[in-house]
Amino acid sequence: MKNSLLVAVISMTFSIQSVSADPKFTPVSGFELSKYLGTWYEIARMPVSFERDLVAVTATYGLQKNGTVSVLNKGHKNIVQGKLKKAHGKAKFAGNTDKGHLKVSFFWPFYADYIIVALDQKDYQYAMVASEGFKYLWILSRTPRLDASILNGLLDKAKALGFDTQKLYMVPQE
């Protein structure tokens, strides 16, 4: 199973690499990496093969000595108590460090866009991340549940960006 997760991450990375380097989505400005670091709960996502059947998914970001960001994605197979799956990666800024646009790699030397298109810029309690081609979208929260009004606002923004929000998978966290 560990190999299938690796193959899925590699497949996703290759498919994103074939897309134009110019982002279709505008990243948030005034971004502060130090506030973004830590653990985020995946509230919703577009269905993707490398996360198939995963619930209770989290992403944890940490600052490394060389200035890059460590990435640890974890999720459980089928049920919250199911088998734990992990994927380790790294991220770096795509450009200016005050823009929420990073490049993430789970398989060197390939990097994929990680564009933060919505963010609670006061407290960094929720975020929405997109990548190219409307195939990848994640709604993240610092807590396992996100207030319905915030979630609905993010869904409206996703729809305005062109995402088919009917396809979003609401990730069980508890």
Nearest to 116 by CA among 5, 25, 27: 27
Q: Which two tokens stand for residue 23?
A: 């982002």
Nearest to 60 by CA among 85, 78, 87, 82: 87
pLDDT tens sequence across 77-136: 999 999 999 999 999 999 999 999 999 998 878 899 999 999 999 999 999 999 877 889
Q: Give the strand pairing for 69-77 and 84-93.
A: antiparallel
Measure CA 168 to chain center. 13
Specify the CATH number for the domain of residue 158. Answer: 2.40.128.20
Provide the domain count of the chain: 1
Predicted TM-score of the model (pTM): 0.85
d(CA 127, CA 44): 11
| Residue 50: domain span | 2-170
pLDDT tens sequence across 99-113: 999 999 988 788 999
